[in-house]
Amino acid sequence: MKSLETLALSEEKNSGFFKKFSIKTYHQARRIIRIIFGLTLLLIGLLMIVLPGPATVVIPLALGLLASEFFWAKWVLAKFNRTILSVLEFNSKRKARKKRHK
Alpha-carbon distance of 74 to 58, in angstroms, equals 15
- Residue pLDDT, tens place only, 33-60: 999 999 999 999 999 999 999 998 999 9
**Residue 23: per-residue pLDDT:** 74
Which candidate, 26, 36, 28, 27, places its Cα nearest to that of 65? 36
Query: What is the average pLDDT across 1-12?
Result: 56
Q: Are 73 and 67 in contact (CB under 8 A)?
A: yes
Quote the percentage of the chain above a pLDDT of 70: 77
Alpha-carbon distance of 25 to 28, in angstroms, equals 5
Whole-prediction pTM: 0.64
**Residue 67: per-residue pLDDT:** 92
Q: How many domains does the chain have?
A: 1
Domain that holds residue 63: 4-101
